[in-house]
Structure formats: structure tokens, C-alpha cells
């Protein structure tokens, strides 16, 4: 709004732009908030894991659109009373219910820098693209991909898996499918295990192929896809006149952390000439650990990998990533010749790689910075060790469960996910126990179904979780079983 058109009852705008009128005051408030957040993370284990937003807080966010300006200091007070106490809980060492990363203080600083610079990483010639390409090369190196692979940041592995299905579809049918659509085409069929994440079926829906054409391959007792069943299904589909095009292996299933036999799947994909994608949302970053790397043998033979830096990589949300071996195939699926995206050989519109050619996003934030700063400051070895340590803590929890007379391990522990239940208790009891523990703020386990049984599920993802935390957790369960209270 310009100075001349101000209505009389409005406070006089100190300046027409949106910067603070008093930079000194702004600086002091911003510094104080940064200090408070550092303190919040430093003392995270002293507070409850989680509590539901207070009624007053829910009401606070049901107000009408504010027309007038307010002091930043007052808004930050709202943040203190209504936001900080009611977060997800994933920073806390006893948050174990879902595969959520815990973040790091370095990641927080990186987010501040990224927001301050406000880069648009859709394309053009600036350093944001260079940093993102650095991560592409680092991930190629870590996963054993050749030089020249392509990749990009996305919100999460749900999106990365969707892009991979779309690339595989375009490669199977040819780039004209982008204009013509799927009508008249031979029926495409894809294969994944019955333990695969639900976003794979959704990717089939979104790509227009339909989730009915996703074959769910049976798993063995450890939750790993059975390659001989996969081969038989492909053969049956070919015999029925369908066009098999894609195998999705999982490196770390959401229920139990199982890793599909990636070598065998790669061999079948090569023999059958199918795209081999790996959903590495949970597990792919474990290749940074020399102790765990061997479990993922075969991932280097895949055509694409989806992974999440915001899970085991502890980069703040969101930081999903897709790596694609064949950069030309990647571009063929997404590049668009729009006039407003025209390139120049120099100036700001120069640059070889524009991420808007590699996915549906045009405007994109600088997710690469928080990932680069996290890896650059911690180093891949220390991140790998922290990943391995969560597996050790999970193994310790599994031991505690096996030693415990009333607890029973319900699935092998492949990586960092432990599923157990309580002998002689039914599903209703287990649900109540999990909810009571969550609401008491002492821990956050979840539940899942294993072979039809409801079980308590603990995913140890947090780099802050220690054996003492597991002891405390088991202690709470003991008290609950003895006295029905926490």
C-alpha cells in the first residue's frame, strides 16, 4: 500500500515495504528466539515427548484473517505459548512410534540461512543449483551409481516414488505417452512386495496406471520379497498379454525394516528388461555406515532410488530425494519447452541443469543447503555411526523384550524397528496401553499389524535415544502391567 492511499484509522505505515521499521529491535528479538530454540533442543529430554494442543491453542488458530499489523515480539510470545509446547515430539529420544528424523541444531541454522536468502531452486544460474548437484554427486558416490546420474530434492519419498513410477512408465511406453496418455496401450503391470509402503500403490493411481495393476509379491518370514514368486508373476502377466515394466524393491520396510533381496531383484529386472526402483526412504542412507552397507548390496544396480534425508539423515523436514541412473530418461519424462523457461548461454538464465526439468515442481526451496550443511559439518562417517547406533539400541530393546517374561517379539529386527506384544493381552489392551503412554508424555510408541495381530511398534530413528531410555520405557510398561498406571 502506498503512502497516499492510507485510510485515516490505520496506524501510519513506517515504510511501504515489509521490512522491520526498527532493525535494532528486530535483531534483538530474532537473536533471543534463536537462543531459546537452541535451549529447547539442548534440554529436549527434560520435557514430555508429546502433548495434545491445548483447547486454547486450537482456538488461537481458528481466528479470522488479521488485517492489522502486530509486533513481532507479541507474535513470538504466541509462538512460545502455542507452538513450542505442542510439537510432534520427534526431537525427543523416546519418540519411537514412527520413522521420523530428530533433526540437528546445524539443520536449524541452515534453515534460517536458506529462508534468509530465499533462493528459488527451480533453475537458472545460481549457487543453489550447484549445492543440489553436489548432493546428487555425493549420493551417487554413496550408493555406487555412475558419474552423470541425475537427481533432485522433493518433499519426501512419497513424491520421489511417484516420480520414479512416472519415469519408468514413460520409458516403457515412450515419451509420446506424455501427450497421448494411456488409452489404447497394452496394460502395464508393476511389482512390489506385500510389505511395501502405501505410497507405491498411490503412485500407480496418480500415474494413471491404477493400483490394481500393482502386483503385491509374497514375502518370506523376515518380510522380504520372494524372488521366485516375483518371477512367476511376471511370467503369468506376460502370458496374459500385459506389459510388465517396473519392480519396486524396498530397502527397509515401514513395518519391520526388512530389506528385499536387492541383488536378486536387480538380476530379474535385468533379465526381464524392467525398471528397477528402490524405495530407500528408511534404509538407503544406511549405506553411510560401513557396518550396515553390506545389507544393501544390489542397490547400486537399481535404475532409481528414493530416499529421505529427513528420516535417518536427520535433516529438518522436508528433504526427500530421488536419484536416477539415466539422466536422459529422467529429463525425457519431465522437461518442458516453455518460453518463460528459455535458457541463455550466459547470464542468469544460463546453467546446464534446471531441476524444473526433473520433476513437476517449478518454484522450489533450497532443501539442498540444510542437507549440505548437515553432511558437511557432521561428515558421512558420523552420520553412518549414528544410524548404526540406532540399530544397536533397537537390538537392545529386542533383547529386553526377549528376556521379559510378559513380552514377546513379533518380527525379526532387520534394522531399527522392533515389533512386540504382551502375552495374554488382546488388541484392545495394546491400543489402550500405547495411547496411555503417548498421552502421559513419557514415550511415543505406535502400533501396527503383523500377520493380522496388532503389535506395539518402536522405530528407533533418533540419534539421541540411548539404552537408558529403553530401560525407562520398559520400566513404564512394567508399572502399567502391574498397577494399570504409568
Ligand X SMILES: *Cc1c(COP(=O)(O)O)cnc(C)c1O
Closer Cβ to ligand X, 249 or 355, answer by number? 249
- The yes or no reply on residue 400 touching ligand X (CB under 6 A) is no
Q: How far apart are CA 14 and CA 370, in angstroms?
A: 34
Q: Sign of the CA dihedral 288, 294, 295, 300?
A: positive
Minimum distance of ligand X from residue 251's CB (angstroms): 8
204: nearest Cα among 176, 175, 246, 232: 246
Minimum distance of ligand X from residue 73's CB (angstroms): 35
Minimum distance of ligand X from residue 457's CB (angstroms): 12
Closer Cβ to ligand X, 124 or 311, answer by number? 311
Q: Among the candidate windows 78-86, 131-139, 150-158, 226-234, which touches ligand X by CB under 6 A?
A: 150-158
- The yes or no reply on residue 279 touching ligand X (CB under 6 A) is yes
Closer Cβ to ligand X, 124 or 197, answer by number? 197
Q: H-helix or E-strand containing 407?
A: strand 407-409
What is the total count of residues that contact ligand X (CB under 6 A)? Answer: 13
What does the block give as the cell for 100? 521420523
Q: Among the candidate windows 178-186, 255-263, 277-285, 287-295, which touches ligand X by CB under 6 A?
A: 277-285
Q: How far apart are CA 414 and CA 460, in angstroms?
A: 12
Q: Which of 298, 320, 355, 445 binds ligand X (CB under 6 A)?
A: 320
Minimum distance of ligand X from residue 207's CB (angstroms): 16
284: nearest Cα among 270, 296, 275: 296
- The yes or no reply on residue 415 touching ligand X (CB under 6 A) is no
Q: Which of 199, 204, 303, 322 binds ligand X (CB under 6 A)?
A: 199
Closer Cβ to ligand X, 315 or 398, answer by number? 315
Q: How far apart are CA 15 and CA 481, in angstroms?
A: 63
- The yes or no reply on residue 416 touching ligand X (CB under 6 A) is no
116: nearest Cα among 366, 373, 371, 368: 366
Q: How far apart are CA 309 and CA 318, in angstroms?
A: 8
Interacting residues with ligand X between 288 and 317 (CB under 6 A): 308
- The yes or no reply on residue 97 touching ligand X (CB under 6 A) is no
Q: Among the candidate windows 156-164, 225-233, 365-373, 464-472, which touches ligand X by CB under 6 A?
A: 156-164
CA 20 from chain centre, in angstroms, equals 35
User: What φ, ψ does residue 111 adopt, rounded to 5°?
Assistant: -65, -35
Q: Which of 281, 442, 461, 477 binds ligand X (CB under 6 A)?
A: 281
- The yes or no reply on residue 100 touching ligand X (CB under 6 A) is no
Beta-carbon contacts of residue 443 (< 8 Å; ≥ 6 apart): 49, 94, 95, 96, 437, 472, 473, 476
- The yes or no reply on residue 195 touching ligand X (CB under 6 A) is no
Residue whose CB is nearest to ligand X in the complex, by number: 156
Q: Sign of the CA dihedral 480, 482, 485, 486?
A: negative
Q: How far apart are CA 52 and CA 85, in angstroms?
A: 9
Beta strands in 124-261 (DSSP E): 150-154, 188-193, 214-217, 243-250
Minimum distance of ligand X from residue 358's CB (angstroms): 18
Interacting residues with ligand X between 228 and 267 (CB under 6 A): 250, 254
Closer Cβ to ligand X, 302 or 353, answer by number? 302
- The yes or no reply on residue 393 touching ligand X (CB under 6 A) is no
Q: H-helix or E-strand containing 369?
A: helix 367-403
Minimum distance of ligand X from residue 84's CB (angstroms): 24
Contact 24, 417 (CB under 8 A): no
What residues line the site for ligand X (CB under 6 A)? 99, 156-158, 197, 199, 250, 254, 279, 281-282, 308, 320
Amino acid at each position: 500500500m502506498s503512502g497516499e492511499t492510507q485510510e485515516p484509522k490505520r496506524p501510519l505505515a513506517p515504510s511501504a515495504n515489509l521490512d522491520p521499521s526498527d532493525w535494532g529491535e528486530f535483531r534483538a528479538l530474532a537473536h533471543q528466539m534463536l537462543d531459546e530454540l537452541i535451549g529447547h533442543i539442548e534440554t529436549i529430554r527434560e520435557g514430555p515427548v508429546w502433548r495434545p494442543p491445548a483447547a486454547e491453542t486450537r482456538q488461537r488458530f481458528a481466528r479470522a484473517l488479521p488485517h492489522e499489523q502486530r509486533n513481532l515480539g507479541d507474535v513470538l510470545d504466541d509462538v512460545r505459548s502455542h507452538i513450542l509446547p505442542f510439537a510432534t515430539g520427534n526431537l525427543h529420544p523416546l519418540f519411537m512410534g514412527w520413522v521420523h528424523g530428530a533433526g540437528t541444531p546445524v539443520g536449524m541454522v541452515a534453515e534460517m540461512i536458506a529462508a534468509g536468502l530465499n533462493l528459488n531452486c527451480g533453475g537458472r544460474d545460481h549457487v543453489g543449483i550447484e549445492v543440489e548437484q553436489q548432493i546428487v554427486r555425493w549420493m551417487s558416490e554413496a550408493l555406487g551409481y555412475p558419474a552423470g546420474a541425475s537427481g533432485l530434492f522433493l518433499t519426501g519419498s512419497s513424491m520421489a516414488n511417484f516420480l520414479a513410477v512416472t519415469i519408468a512408465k514413460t520409458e516403457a511406453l515412450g515419451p509420446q505417452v506424455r501427450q497421448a496418455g494411456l488409452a489404447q496401450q497394452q496394460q502395464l503391470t508393476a511389482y512390489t512386495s506385500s510389505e511395501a509402503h502405501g505410497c507405491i500403490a498411490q503412485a500407480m493411481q496418480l500415474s494413471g496406471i491404477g493400483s490394481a495393476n500393482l502386483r503385491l509379491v509374497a514375502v518370506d518370514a523376515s518380510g522380504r520379497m520372494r524372488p521366485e514368486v516375483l518371477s512367476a508373476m511376471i511370467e503369468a502377466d506376460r502370458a496374459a498379454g500385459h506389459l510388465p515394466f517396473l519392480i519396486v524393491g524396498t530397502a527397509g520396510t515401514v513395518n519391520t525394516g526388512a530389506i528385499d533381496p536387492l541383488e536378486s531383484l536387480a538380476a530379474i529386472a535385468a533379465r526381464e528388461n524392467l525398471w528397477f526402483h528402490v524405495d530407500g526412504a528408511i534404509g538407503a542412507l544406511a549405506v553411510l555406515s560401513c557396518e550396515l552397507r553390506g545389507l544393501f548390496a544390489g542397490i547400486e544396480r537399481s535404475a532409481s532410488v528414493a530416499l529421505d534425508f529427513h528420516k535417518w539423515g536427520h535433516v529438518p523436514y522436508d528433504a526427500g530425494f530421488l536419484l536416477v541412473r539415466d539422466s536422459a530418461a529422467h529429463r525425457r519424462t519431465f522437461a518442458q519447452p516453455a518460453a518463460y523457461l528459455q535458457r541463455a548461454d550466459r547470464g542468469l538464465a544460463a546453467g546446464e541443469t534446471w531441476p524444473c526439468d526433473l520433476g513437476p515442481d517449478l518454484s522450489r526451496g533450497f532443501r539442498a543447503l540444510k542437507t549440505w550443511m548437515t553432511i558437511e559439518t557432521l561428515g558421512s562417517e558420523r552420520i553412518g555411526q549414528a544410524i548404526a547406533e540406532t540399530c544397536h539400541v533397537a537390538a537392545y530393546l529386542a533383547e529386553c523384550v526377549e528376556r521379559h517374561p510378559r513380552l514377546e517379539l513379533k518380527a525379526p529386527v532387520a534394522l531399527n524397528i522392533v515389533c512386540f506384544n504382551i502375552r495374554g493381552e488382546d488388541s484392545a489392551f495394546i491400543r489402550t496401553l500405547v495411547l496411555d503412554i503417548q498421552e502421559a508424555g513419557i514415550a511415543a510408541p505406535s502400533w501396527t499389524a503383523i500377520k493380522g495381530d496388532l503389535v506395539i511398534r518402536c522405530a528407533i530413528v533418533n540419534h539421541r535415544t540411548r539404552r537408558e531410555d529403553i530401560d525407562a520405557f520398559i520400566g513404564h510398561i512394567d508399572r502399567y502391567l502391574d498397577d494399570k498406571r504409568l
